[in-house]
Amino acid sequence: MKPSLQSAWLPVRVEAMTEADLDAVVAIEAASFTSPWPREIFRQELHDPDLAHLFVARVAAGERQGHIAGYACAWLITDELHITNFAVHPDFRRQHVGQQLLAGVLTRARELGARQAILEVRASNRGAQRLYARFGFAPVAVRKRYYSDNHEDAIVMFLDDIGVRLPTPPSAHSE
């Protein structure tokens, strides 16, 4: 029997990343990418709050409450958010963690004055492209041989109005 949409939804809280989160974030990074960012890059980003905004998706309920399920890194330049890194731990994928994380990041970006957002995604990562498209991101360009590990193309996706498609996820405490 297939689980219902509601039961497949793992509630998370989107919070600002701290140095205490780095072990979990670096582990997710290593499990998600063939050329992972080193810990020092995350640490440098944490110490540049004028530009960088880093987030974690923390499990909000259940036996894994408090665990970090995913993270996102972004730069805010004037009124444009550039999502530089985004990953969900393999154990938490297909449970709507990425959707909640992206909604939280875009909500916070809008609160900070961002109107638009941009990101690059691997051409082969159809799941991520579908997630971004649900929020209104559209492909606008291709960066040929962008990724250094295998020279895969990147699809540049752009969101013209951050506020248009921000969904309201189910509450972690709904009755």
SS3 115: coil
Average pLDDT over residues 127-151: 93
pTM of the model: 0.88
Residue 29 a catalytic site member: no
- Is 175 among the domain residues? no
pLDDT for res 148: 82
pLDDT for res 48: 93
Let me know how long the chain is: 175
- Is 48 among the domain residues? yes
How many domains are contained in the chain? Answer: 1
**Residue 101: which CATH number?**
3.40.630.30
> How far apart, in whole angstroms, are the C-alpha atoms of residue 27 and residue 114?
30
- Is 122 among the domain residues? yes
Q: Which domain holds residue 97?
A: 8-159
Whether the Cβ atoms of residue 160 and residue 136 lie closer than 8 Å to each other:
yes
pLDDT for res 172: 44
CB count, 10 Å around CB of 152? 16
Residue 152 a catalytic site member: no
- Is 81 among the domain residues? yes
Catalytic residue among 120, 146, 147, 175: 120
Strands 138-143 and 116-122: unpaired
Tokens of 96: 């709507």
pLDDT for res 164: 77
- Is 152 among the domain residues? yes
Catalytic residue among 19, 45, 132, 152: 132
Average pLDDT over residues 45-63: 94
- 2-34, pLDDT tens digit by residue? 444 445 889 999 999 999 999 999 999 999 998
> How far apart, in whole angstroms, are the C-alpha atoms of residue 46 and residue 1?
44
- 58-89, pLDDT tens digit by residue? 999 989 999 999 999 999 999 999 999 999 99
Whether the Cβ atoms of residue 52 and residue 81 lie closer than 8 Å to each other:
no
- Is 173 among the domain residues? no
CB count, 10 Å around CB of 96? 20
- Is 168 among the domain residues? no
Average pLDDT over residues 90-95: 94
- Is 167 among the domain residues? no
